[in-house]
Structure 1
């Protein structure tokens, strides 16, 4: 189109611009982007894990209170850097019985430059955000909820209903929430409240032990945040659990569930939750998907002496 030529086709909205950008990114990257999408089976359901990118978390923040020599030895033995953790971010999508259910919404454009890739990777997975019927949150940290809105503060999942734990919502939406967190996390509160406002008319509130949607049960896994929920997805006798951040690291959380993690709001409670959850998962031989596990993030839990290990699918 030459300079000065007017576009005579249909009007193009801001959401069309974002979709076009995502499609162009995928077409330019081609098959090399296949790592951004993983697929698992559960009965007649289709389970897709879609990358939202990754984070960079200094080790002093992530495990600053862990015994350094033991931590460094564990990381080095497993080929990992000792200066920082660089976890993947994996959004789980369940397609079943006419529903497209997204667990967590990614970071969006305003958290970290290495994250916020969900929309373009959904395009690679051939999932249109407008087809998403439900968004189910594990918790309200930025890398899980800020992605509900785009660069223009419009809803990414424009036709979806949204579901979050009542206790989680109550904490982050409280007028006292800013005073309840450290100064470096006050932006988390502001960001969560802004996203809650954007989806206010579409929110339903969940309680542990209840069915969220047919075949999806909420499980209390507090500590990382006050009202953190994980979700068991059933199909007959088969099932898997969407962990969220109940287990944040596929090596350390399993080998040393008692080590305090800097990202946890209540570190003592989070450690209890990890140990209880790992014992249950190992006993059930259940499949799990961890939000920050190496993509595509699915696997099982096994006992390893007095601790545990994650076994990728």
Structure 2
């Protein structure tokens, strides 16, 4: 099927949702050196199957989806927001969908409350990219910033892309509303945002890692401490099934599917070779786990399982 902007926004506006497969969870956490890292649910997205998988070989795709318990024309995708705390720093990686995107998402503040974190406690909001489920939660119902005391950080290429007036015309009909929404939100926090570069240490033990493809300037981030490391992958590894089973396939959920596949293969190889843990925004069971090789493919092993 081909998903148009009208189809996509109608589904979001109607709040058509499917409960994610697997057990329900509130949060899952770990330590990375002296960083306390938690994954908090912002709810989930429910999107048409074709948004992800149009053009893929059905004979190979169907058994993968069946193995992971996915069926029907809608795919539910969990949304995991990462929180890292150390000393006085409270770092939020992305800030969820907020109230204006999809009824099944926008639960982040409830999740933070379970950690006794108020919005004003957040010192840094670090954006992996500018898609609605990662960015739109920066503002409340009244278009006021939610995280009033925070500094905002985003990859420089990503910032330039969403602030470019030409993006709304080049991004494609299905995502045109993404561009409008991102530009408006970034304009309202512009005075407090800092552009970061690949390889830049934005805080001691926290490094930016370019992972372009899902969006033109997508960034992942590596937390390190006491010999341990964890990759906050954002959407560079965009799901817990096909992205691992067939990492070289080009997925419709990525804006540049070919580049995203190259990036995904590079990151999966790094994670498996270095035995580095990761948190993925749309991975199951809170998104925290490890990557194992399985022949020419990979497997995600959740720590919360």
**With structure 1 as the length reference, what TM-score do the two structures score?**
0.87
TM-align CA RMSD: 1.3
Deviations 1:117-163 (A, max 9, x none): 11122112211111000000000000000000011111111100000
What is aligned with 2:138?
Answer: 148
Distance across 1 between alignment mates of 2:299 and 2:84: 26
**With structure 2 as the length reference, what TM-score do the two structures score?**
0.90
**Contact 1:75-1:82 within 8 A present in 2 as well:** no
Distance across 1 between alignment mates of 2:40 and 2:158: 24
Residue ranges of structure 1 left out of the alignment (5+ in a row): 1-32
Instruction: Give 2:108's match in structure 1, choosing from 118, 131, 136.
Output: 118
Instruction: Give 1:132's match in structure 2, choosing from 122, 131, 150.
Output: 122
Distance across 1 between alignment mates of 2:125 and 2:172: 28
**Contact 1:76-1:82 within 8 A present in 2 as well:** no
What is the aligned length? 281
Which aligned pairs between 1:144-183 and structure 2 lie closer than 5 A?
144-183=134-173
Distance across 2 between alignment mates of 1:197 and 1:148: 12
Question: Aligned pair 1:90/2:80, yes or no?
Answer: yes
1:172 is paired with a residue whose SS is: helix
2:25 is paired with a residue whose SS is: helix
Distance across 1 between alignment mates of 2:211 and 2:130: 14
Which aligned pairs between 1:36-115 and structure 2 lie closer than 5 A?
36-115=26-105
What is aligned with 1:224?
Answer: 214
Residue ranges of structure 2 left out of the alignment (5+ in a row): 1-22
Distance across 1 between alignment mates of 2:32 and 2:234: 19
**Contact 2:64-2:245 within 8 A present in 1 as well:** no
**Post-superposition shift, 1:83?**
2.5
**Post-superposition shift, 1:113?**
0.5
Distance across 2 between alignment mates of 1:80 and 1:275: 23
1:247 is paired with a residue whose SS is: coil
1:108 is paired with a residue whose SS is: coil
**Contact 1:50-1:118 within 8 A present in 2 as well:** yes
Distance across 1 between alignment mates of 2:295 and 2:249: 17
**Contact 1:51-1:295 within 8 A present in 2 as well:** no
**Contact 2:33-2:227 within 8 A present in 1 as well:** no
